[in-house]
Structure 1
Amino acid sequence: MTTKNETKSQTDESVIAPVLTRAAEAETTADPSSVMTLLADSGTTGGALTSYRSTFAKGAVGAPAHFHTRASEMFYVIGGSLEVLVNEELTVLEAGDFLLVPPHTPHAFAAAPGAEADVLFVFTPGMARFDYLRLLGRVMRGEASPQEIKDSSELYDNHYVNSPVWQEALGRRA
C-alpha cells in the first residue's frame, strides 16, 4: 500500500511499504489434500518475511522431515489439529497454538490423524517460497516430477532428512 504522502522514496531500501493481501485476490494453489493461499513473499516484504496459509484435508500430510538453514519457520494453528515433528519429538498443535522452528532444526507436519488443519506459516527472514509452493502443488497433482523438488533443495532452502520417528508416525496412519 503506497500513499501520495510518502516521505521517503520507494527506492530507499530501508523503507518497506505496507503489504495488504485481500483474501479474494490472493493466489491459491491446490492439490488433492490441501489448499495454499499465498499471502506475502520476500520480494514484496523487503525480505522481512514470507507468509502463506494452508488448509489440510482430514489426515493430509504436509511436509516430510526437512530443515532450513536461513530462516525460522513459524506455525500458527487457526483451526483443527496439526501433528508436527521437531527434531525427533512428535507434538499435536491445536487451534490457537503457536510454534517457532529455528534454522537447522529438522521438522515435519501433517494434519493430525482424523483431523483437518488450517495453519498460518511465516518464514523470517523472508525466503522466496511461492515458486516452491507452486511446484509442490504441481507435483502433488502429478503435473511435475518429485525429482524437481529434490533438485530445488538449495534454491528453496529445503533440506530433507531421514526421520524414523516421522516415518513411523506416517505408517500408523495407513
Structure 2
Amino acid sequence: MTQETSTQTSSAAPFPPVLTRGADAETCADPSSVMTLLADSDSTADGFTSYRSTFAKGAVGAPAHFHTKATEIFFVLSGSLRVLVGEEITVLEAGDFLAVPPHTPHAFAAAPGCEADVLFVFTPGMGRFDYLRLLGRVMRGEADAKALAESAERFDNHYVDSPVWRAALEAST
C-alpha cells in the first residue's frame, strides 16, 4: 500500500488573526448587563462581530427585533437565557448554542430568577460596537431612544412588536 502525502495550498487569509485579551477588552454597561467587546467588523474585514454579555438576575435583555443581513449566534457560557425565536419562547442553558438567521424576529433576557453569561457572534459583522455603546447610553438615560430607531439601517437592527414576548415579560414581573 502506498502512502500519499497531501499538500495544502496556502491562500491569503481574509483578515489577520484577532486576539482580544480580556484585560484589554472595552466594556459597555447598562443597568442590567455588562458587555465585553471582543471583535468588531473593522478588525475582521466584516467577517464577524463578537461580544460577551453578562446579564444580571432578571435583566430584560433585548426587545423583539430582526436583522436583514446578519445571522446572530448565541452560546450560553453560564446561567439561563430566555429567548424568543419567531413566535416560540425557550430557555437556553449553559452549553446551549442557537443561530438565528436573517429576517427572523428574536428577543432575549435572563431567564426568570437567573443570571446569564452569553457569547454573541454576528456574521457578517457590521460595526455593531457603536450600536452597543449607543444602547448603553439610551438605557442609562444619557441618549434619546429615538436614536436607536434612527440607527436601524446602519446597524441592521430592526425592532418589531411581539405580543408573545411582551406577555412573557409581563408574566415574569
Is the shorter-chain TM-score for this pair beyond 0.5, marking a shared fold? Answer: yes
The equivalent residue for 2:69 is 70
Query: Aligned partner of 1:51: which letter?
Result: S
The equivalent residue for 2:147 is 148
Q: Counterpart of 2:61 in 1: which secondary structure?
A: strand
TM-score, normalization by structure 1: 0.91
The equivalent residue for 1:80 is 79
Residue ranges of structure 1 left out of the alignment (5+ in a row): 1-6
CA–CA separation in structure 2 for the residues paired with 1:15 and 1:101: 24
The equivalent residue for 2:121 is 122
CA–CA separation in structure 1 for the residues paired with 2:14 and 2:143: 38
TM-superposed CA distance for 1:173, in Å, is: 2.0
CA offsets 1:112-133 (integer angstroms, 9 cap, x no match): 0000000000001112100000
The equivalent residue for 2:96 is 97
Q: How many residues align?
A: 164
TM-superposed CA distance for 1:15, in Å, is: 3.7
Corresponding position: 1:54 with 2:37: no
TM-superposed CA distance for 1:49, in Å, is: 0.4
Q: Point out 4+ residue stretches in structure 1 off by more than 6 angstroms.
A: none
Q: Counterpart of 2:43 in 1: which secondary structure?
A: coil
The equivalent residue for 1:44 is 43
CA offsets 1:79-112 (integer angstroms, 9 cap, x no match): 0000000000000000000000000000000000
CA offsets 1:53-92 (integer angstroms, 9 cap, x no match): 0000001011000000001000000000000000000000
The equivalent residue for 1:4 is none
Corresponding position: 1:167 with 2:166: yes
CA–CA separation in structure 1 for the residues paired with 2:117 and 2:77: 5
Q: Counterpart of 1:51 in 2: which secondary structure?
A: strand
The equivalent residue for 2:17 is 18
RMSD: 1.4
Give aligned-pair identity as a percent.
Answer: 73
Q: Counterpart of 1:132 in 2: which secondary structure?
A: helix
Residue ranges of structure 2 left out of the alignment (5+ in a row): 1-9
Q: Counterpart of 1:113 in 2: which secondary structure?
A: coil
Alignment of 1:2-17 (within 5 A): 15-17=14-16
CA–CA separation in structure 1 for the residues paired with 2:146 and 2:169: 21
The equivalent residue for 2:26 is 27
